[in-house]
């Protein structure tokens, strides 16, 4: 596959000029002069090699803001260079290549492998392909299993099921069962429901009801279970970027019902598309330190202690009223109710 590779020539100098003259450089203390992209690299990891805070890629890529949303630009075998005199980053061929000319910007056309992802997909892949959260809109558009073939009570892999509200032309479906509600930690309002993933099915005959064959069965499937169309296998590559406006949200739940979460765990937050949530956003976690009482000078006073920032999360799937995020950095446990803000 032939790709046109646009150089990542954007100016950190603009960022520095906009700051105070004595502002701290965004470049990491031990930043390398170059990095050869290899399979398994992520945009987050590469950003962390050059910058103190990887989420500041939007500022580095300020002149190419639209490309941040879907930056299919970096492939294994390419070299990212840091020019400290600017400073700025660029993408090109290795130093010493006789075909390399020091002109900027440059465009190279060559056969390349698949572009690298923003973050490692291992921790989030099930959350991208399975219906693990369903909101009111999702419930409204769900199909429903109405019967199992051969008078069985439950179906498993290879069995036939029948479902209503299956539109013609949609062949692949994920089967789920609505589980416990996910509530806003502050208001108590139900934001969505956890969806217990049961398996997948393929339409074998359109109609009302439609006939489907169970392709995968993780749990028993029966009458009343719900179905959603399987999402497409779109390549996940969104560069980390900060939200454009302020964020005031909370951790609403931790996947699998555990009490605390840490690095590489998945959480849901009370921040959805209705409030500006978008895939690729990086947000900060803050812990409530509680209150302190002080008895002195004959009086007792109570003080609310300031919250402590302790981690960063990466939003990778959004719903109307909440989002799924992966904890990327944390120096302590994350718990339901902790604050989520812009970094």
Is residue 256 located within the same domain as residue 320?
Answer: yes
Last residue of a domain, one of 194, 229, 264: 229
Total count of domains within the chain: 3
Is residue 166 located within the same domain as residue 89?
Answer: no
Contact status, residue 234 vs residue 99, Cβ threshold 8 Å:
no
In a domain, residue 208? The reply is yes
How far apart (Å, rounded) are the C-alpha atoms in residues 89 and 61?
9
Model pTM above 0.75? no
Contact status, residue 192 vs residue 319, Cβ threshold 8 Å:
yes
In a domain, residue 241? The reply is no
Is residue 205 located within the same domain as residue 254?
Answer: no
Which strands, in side-by-side order, build the sheet including 34-36? 10-11, 88-92, 79-83, 34-36
Is residue 273 located within the same domain as residue 336?
Answer: yes
Is residue 187 located within the same domain as residue 135?
Answer: yes
Short-list 170, 228, 223, 224, CA closest to 199: 228
Is residue 11 located within the same domain as residue 82?
Answer: yes
Q: What CATH number has the domain bearing residue 290? A: 2.40.10.410
What was the pLDDT predicted at 233? Answer: 55
Is residue 100 located within the same domain as residue 159?
Answer: no
Is residue 284 located within the same domain as residue 328?
Answer: yes
Is residue 94 located within the same domain as residue 136?
Answer: no
pLDDT tens for 4-24 read 333 333 333 333 333 333 356
Last residue of a domain, one of 111, 136, 159: 111
Is residue 76 located within the same domain as residue 173?
Answer: no
In a domain, residue 317? The reply is yes
Give the H or E element holding residue 15: helix 12-18
Last residue of a domain, one of 53, 88, 111: 111
Domain range enclosing 142 = 125-229
Q: What is the pLDDT along the chain (343 residues), one digit of tens a residue?
A: 333 333 333 333 333 333 333 356 778 888 888 888 888 788 778 878 888 887 766 555 443 445 445 555 677 888 877 777 666 666 665 444 444 444 444 444 444 566 777 777 776 776 776 767 787 777 888 999 999 998 788 999 999 999 999 999 899 999 998 888 899 998 999 998 888 889 999 999 999 999 999 999 888 999 999 999 887 655 566 777 888 889 999 999 887 667 888 888 889 999 999 999 998 899 999 998 888 988 877 788 899 899 999 999 999 888 889 999 999 888 889 999 999 999 8
């Amino acid at each position: 596959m032939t790709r046109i590779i646009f150089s990542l020539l954007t100016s950190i100098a603009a960022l520095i000029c906009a700051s105070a003259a004595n502002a701290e450089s965004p470049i990491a203390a031990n930043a390398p002069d170059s990095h050869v992209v290899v399979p398994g690299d992520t945009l987050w990891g590469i950003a962390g090699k050059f910058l103190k805070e990887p989420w500041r890629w939007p500022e580095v890529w300020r002149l190419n803001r639209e490309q941040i949303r879907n930056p299919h630009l970096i492939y294994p075998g390419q070299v990212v260079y840091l020019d400290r005199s600017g400073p700025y980053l660029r993408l090109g061929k290795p130093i010493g290549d006789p075909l390399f000319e020091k002109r900027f910007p440059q465009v190279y056309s060559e056969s390349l492998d698949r572009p690298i992802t923003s973050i490692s997909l291992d921790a989030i892949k099930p959350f991208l392909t399975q219906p693990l959260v369903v909101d009111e809109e999702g419930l409204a558009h769900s199909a429903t299993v109405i019967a199992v073939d051969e008078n069985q009570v439950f179906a498993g892999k290879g069995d036939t099921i029948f479902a209503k509200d299956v539109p013609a032309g949609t062949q692949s479906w994920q089967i789920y069962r609505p589980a416990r509600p996910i509530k806003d930690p502050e208001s108590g309002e139900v934001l969505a429901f956890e969806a217990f993933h049961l398996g997948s099915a393929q339409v074998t005959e359109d109609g009302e009801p439609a006939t489907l064959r169970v392709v995968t069965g993780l749990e028993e499937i029966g009458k009343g279970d719900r179905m959603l169309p399987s999402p497409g296998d779109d390549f996940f590559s969104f560069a980390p970027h900060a939200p454009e406006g302020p964020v005031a949200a909370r951790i609403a739940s931790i996947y699998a019902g555990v009490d605390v979460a840490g690095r590489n765990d998945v959480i849901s937050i009370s921040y959805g598309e209705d409030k500006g949530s978008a895939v690729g956003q990086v947000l900060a976690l803050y812990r409530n330190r509680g209150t302190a009482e002080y008895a002195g000078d004959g009086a007792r006073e109570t003080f609310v202690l300031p919250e402590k920032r302790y981690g960063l999360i990466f939003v990778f799937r959004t719903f109307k009223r909440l989002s799924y995020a992966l904890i990327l950095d944390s120096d302590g446990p994350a718990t339901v109710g902790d604050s989520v803000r812009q970094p």
